[in-house]
Amino acid sequence: MAGEKAVSTVAKPQMRGLLNSVIKRNLIVAITLAGISGFAFKILVGDARKRRYAEFYRTYDAEKDFEEMRKKGLFQSC
């Protein structure tokens, strides 16, 4: 047992091209996260906003709205 020594070798550090490999990895992560967040924003915010606008203009009556504002006295020329 005393004659057997546990020898472990440590991997050599990357000395050349370290900045390029780190930038490449960070760029891939950044592009992936940007794509995911853009898609999530479109689904969660953009589509919901389109549905709300469509619902509003489907039920909107401009003449009725105008008459209500005219009865309240908001217009000086009418």
Which pLDDT value is given to residue 2?
57
Is-contact 21 14, C-beta < 8 A? Answer: yes
Distance CA 77, CA 18 (A): 73
Mean pLDDT within 2-6 = 64
Predicted pLDDT of residue 33 = 98
CA distance 6 to 8: 6
pLDDT of residue 15: 81
Distances (CA, A) of 55 to 60, 62, 69: 8, 14, 22
**pTM of the predicted model as reported, rounded to 2 decimal places:** 0.59
The model's pLDDT over 10-58, given as tens digits with 9 standing for 90+, comes to 888 878 899 999 999 999 999 999 999 999 999 999 999 999 999 999 9
Q: How far apart are CA 31 and CA 23, in angstroms?
A: 12
Write the CA distances from 27 to 19, 31, 39, 50, 78, integer angstroms.
12, 6, 18, 32, 61
Question: Higher model confidence: residue 6 or residue 18?
Answer: 18
Give the pLDDT band (50/70/90) at residue 1. Answer: low
